């Protein structure tokens, strides 16, 4: 298949929308990461997403809408708590899980009775959704398991020749996928952390729970209720090992384990003490910069041929929890604590 590389011009937006109406796959920019979009009502188009990505069929997808009134046909209930979160954070990087209607193809939900829905703030994403007239199922536009794409070039690396088109909307501002919150129960539950943090949700909803699977492997036999809950995700070819400790402890450990193919992924300004090649992903005290750069850094680890990537742990609160969640899965939960 010849993949068209499109811009965000009106003509190219119309071309992308036409492809989507035909049941084809188009990679689109959002504020979080690039999404691989298809008409969520078309079961064959949705199935093509799973095939192009190599994605397990039981891993549910997120449906993207272009206007608030496009939500009601897709779900059967919007609780007062859900509405409060919508009012506070939509449009934006927040996905909410509702009881689903029959308006979308069953394979969107991976066999679940719920539906994950997001209203992105990115203007190009919204123009494409509204021009197409389709609610769009759109997981990250990468091969399943690899680092998520934050530029059109990342998408092309993974999916050129496998999809109809890639719309280049520039680099993604947020850099990690949306926060996913289950609002079908009495207390909202975070299934995947993101830019909309637990602290922000608590201020609106009064209470919030964080699912154990955010920082631990999904229990054996448990069903993934959200994208990003599988055991290993977001991983480069290199073996990622998280190091939990101070800059001094991390430098001592990495320097003692230097060797061919060993690299470090550290915070800006902390590479000077390391005697191995380094990549960085933001300052230690800047979790939004970490989120913006972490996937690009993981992809660059492959470009430079890293075999082992010792990675400095981020914080576990605020947006740092989202970065930690992604790195945990990239490392298949291999964490070395250096704290005394």
Check pLDDT > 70 for residue 221: no
Confidence band, pLDDT 50/70/90 cuts, at residue 234: confident
- Residue 217: per-residue pLDDT: 84
pLDDT > 70: percent of the chain: 96
pLDDT tens across 31-74, in order? 999 999 999 999 999 999 999 999 888 789 999 999 999 999 99
Span 268-275, mean pLDDT? Answer: 96
What pLDDT score does 226 carry? 67
Segment 115-144 shows an average pLDDT of 97
Helix residue ranges per DSSP H, the chain: 10-21, 43-53, 80-89, 123-132, 152-159, 198-205, 247-256, 287-303, 320-330
Residues 6+ apart with CB under 8 A from 235: 145, 146, 147, 298, 329, 330, 331, 332
Report the pLDDT value the prediction gives residue 225, as an integer from 0 to 100: 65
Residue 232: its pLDDT value, please? 66
Q: Which three-class secondary structure state does DSSP give residue 279? A: strand
Q: What is the mean pLDDT of residues 231-253?
A: 91
- pLDDT of residue 325 exceeding 80, the answer is yes
pTM of the predicted model, to two decimals? 0.95
238 has a pLDDT exceeding 90: yes
Among 82-96, 104-118, 231-245, name the one with the lowest average pLDDT.
Answer: 231-245
Question: Regarding predicted confidence, which is higher, 263 or 225?
Answer: 263
All residues at 6 or more sequence positions from 209 whose CB lies less than 8 Å from its CB, including other chains: 187, 188, 189, 190
Q: Please give the structure tokens belonging to residue 282.
A: 């933001």
What pLDDT is attached to residue 222?
Answer: 61
Q: Which residues in the chain are classed under CATH 3.90.870.10?
A: 4-214
Choose among 297, 7, 249: nearest CA to 128.
Answer: 7
Say which CATH topology domain 239-337 has.
Answer: Rossmann fold (3.40.50)
pLDDT exceeds 80 at position 245: yes
Please say if the pLDDT value at position 187 is more than 60: yes
Average pLDDT value over all residues in the chain: 95
In the CATH scheme, what is the homologous superfamily, with its name and number, of domain 4-214? DHBP synthase (3.90.870.10)
Task: State the Cα–Cα distance between residues 183 and 102, nearest whole angstrom.
Answer: 19
């Amino acid at each position: 298949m010849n993949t068209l590389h499109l811009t965000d011009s009106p003509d190219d937006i119309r071309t992308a929308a036409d492809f989507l109406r035909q049941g084809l796959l188009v990679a689109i920019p959002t504020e979080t990461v690039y999404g691989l979009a298809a008409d969520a009502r078309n079961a064959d188009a949705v199935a093509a997403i799973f095939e192009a990505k190599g994605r397990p069929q039981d891993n549910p997808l997120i449906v993207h809408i272009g206007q608030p009134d496009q939500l009601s046909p897709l779900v059967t209930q919007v609780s007062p708590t859900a509405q409060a979160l919508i009012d506070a954070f939509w449009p934006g990087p927040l996905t909410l899980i509702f009881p689903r209607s029959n308006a979308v193809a069953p394979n969107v939900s991976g066999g679940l009775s719920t539906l994950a829905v997001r209203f992105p703030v990115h203007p190009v994403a919204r123009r494409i959704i509204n021009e197409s007239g389709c609610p769009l199922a759109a997981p990250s536009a990468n091969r399943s398991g690899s680092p998520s794409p934050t530029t059109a070039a990342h998408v092309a690396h993974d999916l050129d020749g496998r999809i109809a088109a890639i719309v280049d909307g520039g680099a993604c501002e947020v850099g990690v996928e949306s926060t996913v919150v289950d609002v079908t129960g009495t207390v909202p539950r975070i299934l995947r952390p993101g830019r909309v943090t637990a602290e922000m949700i608590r201020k609106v909803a009064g209470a919030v729970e964080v699912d154990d699977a955010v920082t631990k492997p999904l229990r054996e036999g448990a069903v993934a209720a959200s994208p990003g809950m599988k055991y290993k995700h977001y991983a480069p070819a290199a073996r990622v090992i998280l190091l939990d400790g101070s800059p001094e402890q991390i430098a001592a450990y990495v320097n003692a384990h230097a060797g061919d193919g060993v690299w470090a992924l550290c915070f800006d300004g902390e590479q000077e003490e390391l005697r191995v090649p380094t990549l960085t992903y933001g300052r230690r005290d800047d979790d939004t910069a970490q989120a913006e750069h972490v996937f690009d850094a993981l992809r660059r680890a492959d470009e430079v041929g890293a075999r082992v990537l010792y990675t400095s742990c981020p914080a576990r609160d605020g947006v740092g929890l989202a970065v930690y969640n992604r790195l945990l899965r990239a490392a298949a939960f291999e964490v070395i604590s250096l704290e005394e």
